[in-house]
């Protein structure tokens, strides 16, 4: 059992991972092609994910696509703040995907509990802001800059060692800014400044990242490395995503960032029972309405 601290208290994680549902407040996400452009659509998507079993939600106002420039801070705030205020007001545990200090400060004040910084703490002030707000901070491995596509097979002598060293360094920088280690979540950064083969190498060496002793966020859903393995577009990568989760989950302290929460919830529930982390009641029986498909209309 491991835990991370937020303004709402400690969040404990056992061998069954927490599921972080993705709500994009962007018109150009790589995975959903702008399906949630309006606040109403974003709220409907959030409610759908929560009903499907999401433990928390990750809101993003700037797409990670690398064929467009960074958007202005004001535009990122315009996209995310109404959604954060509404969901936080409903008591939802919220993460916001941002690396900008101005956005981090605003969303934490609006009720978010976690800053998901995919830049690798490009701006250390983000750590100080999280420290002041008693919020959690996701520290991700990323040798690139925002909106930069960096895929160089020769970039690392040992990519797993680079990830571990980078995360240690960034955790120390965050500590210098006042962030307690209990507020830190680490992310090995699949696809970020990595070729597909480098991402696979990092995931095969996940135990070395877990040895840092902090909860691990795994953002595997629909990622490019899965597209390379399967030859499928983002929304066709559900089976590949579930395969990656099945291969890597079951160790304590994981958060899984996923688009398809219902399917991921089914998977982790079955894995928990088959691995002995959860039990079925001895007299459990299948409900009658689940025994067969209803007749065609």
Q: Which residues participate in catalysis according to the annotation?
A: 223, 257
Q: Is there a contact between 135 and 174 (Cβ–Cβ < 8 Å)?
A: no
Instruction: Measure the CA–CA gap between 203 and 210, rounded to whole angstroms.
Output: 11
In whole angstroms, what is the distance from residue 97 CA to residue 60 CA? 5
Task: Give the number of other CB atoms < 10 A from CB of residue 2.
Answer: 18
Instruction: Look up residue 21 and give its two tokens.
Output: 């549902």
User: 199: which 2 tokens?
Assistant: 């991402």
Q: Which long-range contacts (CB under 8 A, 24 or more apart) does 63-71 make?
A: 63/24, 63/26, 63/28, 63/29, 63/30, 64/30, 64/118, 64/147, 65/28, 65/29, 65/30, 65/147, 66/147, 66/148, 66/149, 68/28, 68/147, 69/147, 70/146, 70/147
At 76, list the tokens.
């990122």
d(CA 197, CA 269): 29
Altogether, the residues listed in the chain come to a count of 297
SS3 category, 2: strand
| Residue in this structure with the two tokens 């890597």, named with its chain if needed | 248
In DSSP terms, which residues pair with 184 in a beta bridge? 137
Residue 267 Cα distances to 2, 41, 67, 75, 272, angstroms: 21, 27, 34, 37, 9
């Amino acid at each position: 059992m491991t835990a991370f601290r937020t303004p709402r208290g400690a969040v404990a994680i056992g061998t069954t991972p927490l599921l972080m549902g993705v709500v994009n407040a962007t018109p150009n996400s790589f995975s959903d092609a702008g399906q949630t452009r309006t606040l109403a659509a974003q709220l409907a998507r959030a409610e759908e994910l929560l009903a499907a079993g999401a433990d928390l939600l990750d809101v993003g106002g700037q797409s990670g696509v690398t064929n467009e420039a960074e958007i202005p801070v004001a535009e990122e705030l315009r996209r995310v703040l109404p959604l954060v205020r509404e969901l936080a007001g409903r008591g939802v545990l919220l993460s916001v995907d941002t690396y900008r200090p101005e956005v981090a400060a605003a969303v934490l004040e609006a009720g978010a509990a976690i800053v998901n910084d995919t830049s690798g703490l490009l701006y250390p002030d983000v750590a100080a802001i999280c420290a002041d707000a008693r919020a959690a901070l996701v520290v991700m491995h990323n040798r690139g800059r925002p909106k930069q596509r960096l895929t160089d097979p020769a970039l690392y002598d040992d990519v797993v060692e680079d990830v571990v060293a980078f995360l240690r360094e960034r955790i120390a920088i965050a500590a210098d800014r006042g962030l307690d280690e209990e507020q830190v979540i680490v992310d090995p950064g699949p696809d970020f400044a990595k070729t597909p083969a480098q991402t696979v190498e990092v995931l095969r060496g996940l135990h070395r990242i877990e040895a840092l002793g902090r909860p691990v966020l795994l953002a595997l859903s629909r990622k490019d490395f899965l597209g390379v393995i399967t030859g499928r577009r983002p929304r066709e990568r559900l089976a590949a995503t579930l395969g990656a989760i099945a291969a890597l989950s079951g160790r304590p302290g994981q958060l899984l960032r996923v688009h398809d929460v219902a399917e991921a919830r089914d998977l982790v529930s079955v894995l928990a029972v088959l691995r002995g982390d959860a039990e079925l009641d001895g007299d459990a029986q299948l409900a009658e309405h689940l025994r067969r498909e209803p007749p065609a209309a």
